[in-house]
C-alpha cells in the first residue's frame, strides 16, 4: 500500500468540540470517528471480517486523500466491520446513514451497510441495512434514514457483499451515521 502524507485536516475535524447540551455528540455530527468515516488520518476501527484484506489507500479516496480499499480474497461473499466493541456512542431516535462505494468494472458487486443499534451492554437491539445499487467503477452514494430504538447507547457498522470473487475490489469512503435534528 502506498502511504501518502497524512492530512492534518481529519485530525482537526476529530478534535472539533461536541455540543455541550448533548452528552455524547452534536445532533448532526457523525457517530463514527473521523478516521473510520473518512480514512484521512488512519484506518479507523475497520477490521477485515471475512474473505477480504483491507487497507487505507490513497487511490481509494472519494473525498480527501484516502479511502478504504477492500480486496476480496475468497468467493461467496465478503465483509468488513467496525471493531471497537461495544461500538460508538449513540442515542435513540431518527438517524441518517450513508456511504460512498465503487466496485470493479464488469462485476456485479453490491455493498450492504448494516447498522447495529446496541444497548449499554452491547446487546443488539435492532439492525438496519442499506444496500448500494450494483457497483461499477464509478462512485455511488447510498443513503437511508434509520431509527435507533429506545435504549440505544451504542452503534456498530458492517459492510458486506453476498457476491464476490478473488481479485474483486470495493472502495469505501465517507461512511456516515448521524442523528437527525428533531424539528
Ligand atoms: Ca476519504
Distance 123 CA to ligand 1 centre (A): 30
Is residue 95 in a domain?
Answer: yes
Residue 132 cell numbers, joined: 448500494
143 has which bridge partners? Answer: 98
CA of 102 to the centre of ligand 1 (A): 13
What is the model's pLDDT at position 10?
45
Does 58 fall in a domain? yes
2 occurs within a structural domain: no
Distance 12 CA to ligand 1 centre (A): 14
Predicted pLDDT at 104: 87
Of how many residues is the chain composed?
183
Decide if 1 is inside a domain.
no
Residue ranges of the chain with per-residue pLDDT less than 70 = 1-28, 182-183
CA of 74 to the centre of ligand 1 (A): 26
What's the confidence (pLDDT) of residue 28? 61
Q: Ligand 1 center to residue 37 CA distance, Å?
A: 8
CATH of the domain at 115: 2.60.120.260
| Ligand 1 centroid – CA 172 distance (Å) | 8
Within-domain flag for 39: yes
- Return the pLDDT at 141: 98
Listed as own residue / partner, the contacts of 14-19 with beta carbons closer than 8 Å and 24 or more positions apart are 14/41
Query: Can you give the pLDDT at residue 2?
Result: 43
Q: How far, in Å, from the CA of 150 to the mean position of ligand 1? A: 32
CA 67 – ligand 1 centroid, Å: 5
Ligand 1 centroid–CA 162 distance in Å is 25
58 CA to centre of ligand 1 in angstroms: 8
Residue 41, pLDDT score: 94
Domain count, the chain: 1
Distance between CA atoms of residues 19 and 136, nearest Å: 39
Between the alpha carbon of residue 93 and those of residues 67, 74, 101, 146, 168, the distances in Å are 29, 38, 26, 8, 37
Q: Residue 173 sits in which domain range?
A: 8-179
- Calculate how far, in angstroms, residue 121's C-alpha sits from the geometric centre of ligand 1: 31
Residue 98 lies in a domain: yes
What is the model's pLDDT at position 183?
57
- The pLDDT, as a whole number, for residue 105 is 86
Amino acid at each position: 500500500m502506498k502511504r501518502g502524507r497524512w492530512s492534518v485536516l481529519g485530525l482537526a475535524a476529530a478534535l472539533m468540540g461536541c455540543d455541550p447540551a448533548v452528552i455524547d455528540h452534536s445532533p448532526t455530527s457523525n457517530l463514527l470517528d473521523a478516521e473510520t468515516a473518512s480514512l484521512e488520518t488512519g484506518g479507523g476501527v475497520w477490521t477485515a471480517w471475512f474473505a477480504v484484506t483491507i487497507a487505507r489507500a490513497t487511490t481509494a479516496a472519494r473525498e480527501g486523500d484516502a479511502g478504504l480499499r477492500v480486496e476480496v480474497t475468497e468467493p461467496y461473499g465478503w465483509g468488513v466491520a467496525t471493531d471497537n466493541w461495544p461500538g460508538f456512542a449513540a442515542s435513540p431516535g431518527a438517524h441518517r446513514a450513508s456511504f460512498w462505494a465503487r466496485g470493479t468494472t464488469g462485476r456485479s458487486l453490491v455493498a450492504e451497510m448494516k447498522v447495529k443499534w446496541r444497548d449499554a451492554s452491547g446487546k443488539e437491539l435492532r439492525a438496519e441495512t442499506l444496500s448500494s445499487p450494483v457497483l461499477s467503477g464509478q462512485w455511488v452514494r447510498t443513503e437511508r434514514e434509520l431509527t435507533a430504538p429506545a435504549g440505544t447507547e451504542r452503534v456498530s457498522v458492517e459492510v458486506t457483499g453476498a457476491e464476490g470473487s478473488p481479485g474483486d475490489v470495493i472502495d469505501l469512503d465517507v461512511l456516515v451515521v448521524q442523528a437527525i435534528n428533531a424539528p
